[in-house]
Amino acid sequence: MDFELKNIPSQKGRVAIVTGANNGIGFETTLALANYGFKVIMACRSLEKAEKAKSAILEKLPNADLDILQLDLSDLNSVKTFAQQFKDNYSKLDVLINNAGVLIYSGKKNKEGIELQFATNHLGPFLLTNLLFELIPDDSNSRIVALSSLAHKGAKIHFDDLSCEKSDDPDAAYGQSKLANLMFADELNRRLKKSGKEIVALAVHPGGSDSGLFDEMSKLKYYTFKILSPLILNSNAAAAKPSLFAALSPNVKGGEYFGPQGFQEFKGKVGVAKRSEYSKREDVAVDLWKLSEEMTGQPFLR
């Protein structure tokens, strides 16, 4: 299975949101969607960076239809404000790509005291999807895409220790947040189908890419990635392909997990990705869903 970007018909008249659209994979995803005719709302924490990214896209695509709305996924109030602003300005949402994420090792927490990666990578997208759901047409071409990661493998949801403070693994919190992305997409798709909806929810991972997530790595890990990156990592444009496949391919049904098919899934053609056995546990996904509803204060597809 591969995905040829040139074979996609015009998407003019359709509306997409890409979170974290100002750099890395989000930038390349936005560029591609705009090239197909989407109106793309660039949901970014920094308006200054978003404006620079918009200008860069317009230099390549002068007719790109782009809007910017501020969104800090770590702040649930910011998510609510963004959702209301979107509803005030747009009547529908055809594609939601929950792309933005953070990778940190400093034990940071958001304003509510929630571990920052879990808040930003999972709770923010969970609430955003919930608040915008009513605007998504009930159609199989409507897509909700969650960006997971190879880091989900070996991870679990630490229900009694969401900050992973008891874990000796410095990657535990990030892995947990990316596992949550995958399990959210799975459970969302199950609930959509159970309710008779045709909307498609699915997850992807970009493989390995230097998308700006590695700034807080230890120096040893950071420079190892930099030295090896030409050999093992995707370009950001290639890393955006799984997201674009999920958003645009007519050959998806929902509940799938796609990513690169090359060595260790770092790069290569897009296809069905490998997932951990733990990530398949529906009981954990249901518990995660309930916890997410409690933490965001919003019921969703019950």
Q: How would you write the pLDDT of the chain (302 residues) with one tens digit per residue?
A: 455 667 789 999 999 999 999 999 999 999 999 999 999 999 999 999 999 999 999 999 999 999 999 999 999 999 999 999 999 999 999 999 999 999 887 789 999 999 999 999 999 999 999 999 999 999 999 999 999 999 999 999 999 999 999 998 989 999 999 999 999 999 999 999 999 999 999 999 998 765 555 555 555 555 555 555 555 566 888 889 999 999 999 989 999 999 988 778 888 899 999 999 999 999 999 999 999 999 999 999 98
Taking residue 264's Cβ as centre, other Cβ atoms within 10 Å add up to 12
DSSP bridge partners of 65? 39
DSSP E strands in 62-204: the ranges are: 65-70, 95-98, 143-147, 200-204
Which among 53, 61, 59 is positioned nearest to 37, based on CA atoms? 61
Indicate the helix (H) or strand (E) that contains 186.
helix 172-194
Reduced to 3 states (helix: H, G, I; strand: E, B; else coil), residue 145 is strand
By the 10 Å C-beta count (0-12 exposed, 13-18 middle, 19+ buried), 17 is classed as buried
Report which DSSP code applies to 115: B
Which residues, in sequence order, are CB contacts of 6 under 8 Å at separation 6+?
none
Classify domain 10-296 at the CATH topology level. Rossmann fold (3.40.50)
Q: Choosing from 90, 105, 174, 222, which is the catalytic residue?
A: 174
Q: State if pTM tops 0.85.
A: yes
Distances (CA, A) of 36 to 43, 72, 133: 19, 27, 23
Distances (CA, A) of 16 to 38, 41, 218, 226, 274: 7, 6, 35, 32, 27
Catalytic-residue membership of 174: yes
Residue 267 · residue 238 · CB < 8 Å: yes
Domain boundaries, the chain: 10-296
DSSP bridge partners of 146? 98, 203
Number of helices (H) and strands (E), helices first, in the chain?
10, 8
